Amino acid sequence: MSAYEDQHRIALARELTYAAECPLRDRYGFAVGDDVVLAIVNIVFAEPDDAKAADQIGMASLLTELGDCGHIAMGYDTPTDEAYERAIVAALRPLVEQRRDAAARSLP
* pLDDT tens for each residue of 76-89: 878 899 999 999 99
Q: What is the mean pLDDT of residues 37-41?
A: 94
CB environment 67-77: b (16+ within 10 A), e (fewer):
bebbbbbbeee
Banded pLDDT at 19 (limits 50, 70, 90): very high
Q: How far is CA 85 from CA 44, 57, 89, 97, in A?
A: 11, 7, 6, 18
Q: Taking the mean position of all CA atoms in its chain, how far away is CA 71?
A: 12
5 vs 49: CA distance, rounded Å: 24
For residues 7 and 55, is the Cβ–Cβ distance under 8 A? no
Provide the pLDDT for residue 27. Answer: 86
Q: What is the mean pLDDT of residues 3-31?
A: 92
